[in-house]
Amino acid sequence: MEKVIENVQKKFSLSEVTSAHGYFITCEKKDAVSLVTYLKNVEGFKHLVLITAVDWIKDNKFQLTYLLNNPQMKKELGVRTYIERSVWPEESVMDSAHHLWPAAKTYQRELHEMFGIDFPDSPEVNEPLILEYWDDIPPYRKDFDTKQYSEDTYFPREGRETDDPATYMKEMLYPFEGEKNV
């Protein structure tokens, strides 16, 4: 795997290479699709395992990770890139990788729907995947208020007890904290 990383570093500018729990390389947004194309066509990472995102709201970024598998080497490699996090309803934009793997279009649809990341020219990217008729902020964004959405959308049911999660967990984890030692 070190030879693959060495080959990649000769062709692409990487900002980070980690190998704690498998190899992950980080590149600029503009190089991400070229890099995964190179890894597929030259280095044998023919299988796209997944494309996922993390919302780093405080840094105003989304981290996209492409997890690739090389069946001959029996190795996986993660390719990470960061894109600017837009303010909803504006969408963040990333180049599409659907031309490399048919499964990429499904992952891209999911990221579009759940994070508001657009992949222009990706087939069916604007069609609902899970959230039919959804017209609110994408629910995987950190600024989506799940509790408020639930309170606004669903009616309270009789006989159902609701605990404040913070108070409930404090009571469950530290049941004797309020008692004095005798």
Q: Which has the higher per-residue pLDDT, 152 or 107? A: 107
Q: Check: CB of residue 41 under 8 Å from CB of residue 11.
A: no
User: Residue 164 — pLDDT band, cuts 50, 70, 90?
Assistant: confident
Q: What is the pLDDT of residue 171?
A: 83
Q: What is the pLDDT of residue 107?
A: 97
Q: Which helix (H) or strand (E) holds 6?
A: helix 2-11
Indicate whether 180 belongs to any domain: no
What CA dihedral angle connects 53, 55, 56 and 57, to 10 degrees?
A: 160
Tell me which residue has tokens 């690739």. 68
Indicate whether 100 belongs to any domain: yes
Q: What is the mean pLDDT of residues 128-150?
A: 92
User: Residue 112 — pLDDT band, cuts 50, 70, 90?
Assistant: very high
Indicate whether 181 belongs to any domain: no
45-81 pLDDT tens trace: 999 999 999 999 999 999 999 999 999 999 999 999 9
Q: What is the pLDDT of residue 10?
A: 96
Could you list the residue range(s) of the whole structural domain that residue 13 is in?
2-173
Indicate whether 141 belongs to any domain: yes
**Which CATH number fits the domain that encloses residue 92?**
3.30.460.80
> Closest Cα partner for 47 from 25, 68, 78, 66?
68
User: Residue 151 — pLDDT band, cuts 50, 70, 90?
Assistant: confident
Indicate whether 182 belongs to any domain: no
Strand spans (E) along the chain: 14-18, 23-27, 47-56, 61-70, 75-84, 92-93, 117-118
User: Residue 141 — pLDDT band, cuts 50, 70, 90?
Assistant: very high
Q: What is the pLDDT of residue 7?
A: 96
Indicate whether 178 belongs to any domain: no
Q: Across the chain, what does the average pLDDT equal?
A: 91
Residues 6+ apart with CB under 8 A from 134: 113, 128
Indicate whether 47 belongs to any domain: yes
Q: What is the pLDDT of residue 173?
A: 85
User: Is 109's pLDDT higher than 60?
Assistant: yes
User: Is 179's pLDDT higher than 70?
Assistant: no
User: Is 16's pLDDT higher than 70?
Assistant: yes
Provide the domain count of the chain: 1
Residues 6+ apart with CB under 8 A from 178: none
Tell me which residue has tokens 């793997």. 101
User: Is 180's pLDDT higher than 70?
Assistant: no
Indicate whether 179 belongs to any domain: no
